[in-house]
Structure 1
Amino acid sequence: MAVVDELLRSEADGTISFGNYALKDKAKLENFEHCGDLYKVKTYKTMTRLEKNGMFAYESVPGTSVLHFVENARETRFIVEGDEDAQITVGLNEDTEYEVFVNEKSIGKMKTNLSGKLNISVELAEADDVSVRITK
């Protein structure tokens, strides 16, 4: 499995990767600029959190590494890795219905709450990594 040693990095394909679930102590990186946006990440074994321009974007409990994270008006997609199953919360549009795909298999349609958060669980204990795609 590939943790993100830099905590947050830009990828050649225009996406970002972040998080290091192997850390025993909290680590954070602030004011990381990518494509005109400012990101902040906090990560360690029990939690990984990403903020974009001061707004909530992603959180996992326990901590995870997220590869090739990208979001646009139509979808949010990423690959997630970790030592154990994780509860993931993604910041999206409030009170909106999305279809969620895990490893390209639909797990159904879900609606965000009034704060725009969508919660999903992913089974990581038995997998090298899991792809997640959330579409409007």
Structure 2
Amino acid sequence: MAAVKELIRAEEDGSISFGDYELAAKSKRQEEYQGDIYKVKTFREITKLERNDLFVYESVPGTAVEHFKVNADSVEFRVEGPEDAQITLGMEDDTEYLTLVDGVSAGAIKTGLGGKLVLSVELGGKETVSVKVVKA
């Protein structure tokens, strides 16, 4: 996959791709897509995405994300990075979600009042890892 050199881009399937973990210095880009304003901040230490000034995605260290798609009850994407990453997603408050990493259940995670869902993804040595989070 490699890093998204334009920092954020729309895909033909209606999803977006973003992030460049190869950058030594923090870079930012804002893009309008389907009536929403997306802001990405990315470099080797962190990748963060906001939609209309609301938190959507963050990874530590930085990652590249392809085909990020949000539906009413789920979030799906493929992620790549140089090492294992902690990913935080902005979801609904006080809701339980089932997480699948490369098709294998990583268990159920319940969000708190802030709606943040945190999961770890083993990336070292793999090209990409698929992540799917579905409302239970």
Aligned mates of 1:11, 1:2 — CA distance in 2: 15
Q: Which residue of 1 aligns with 2:28?
A: 28
Over 3 Å off, 4+ runs: none
Q: How does 1:1-136 map to 2 (within 5 A)?
A: 1-30=1-30, 32-136=31-135
Aligned mates of 1:113, 1:52 — CA distance in 2: 20
| TM-aligned CA deviation for residue 126 of structure 1 | 2.5
* TM-score, structure 2 as length reference: 0.97
Q: May I ask how many residue pairs the two structures share in their alignment?
A: 135
Aligned mates of 2:34, 2:99 — CA distance in 1: 26
| TM-aligned CA deviation for residue 73 of structure 1 | 0.8
* TM-score, structure 1 as length reference: 0.97
Alpha-carbon displacement from aligned partner over 1:5-41 (angstroms, at most 9, x marks no partner)? 00000001110000000000000002x1111111000
| TM-aligned CA deviation for residue 81 of structure 1 | 0.2
One-letter amino acid matched to 1:95: D
User: Secondary structure at the residue paired with 2:83?
Assistant: coil
Alpha-carbon displacement from aligned partner over 1:76-129 (angstroms, at most 9, x marks no partner)? 000000000000000000110000000011111110121000000000003111
Aligned mates of 1:35, 1:113 — CA distance in 2: 29
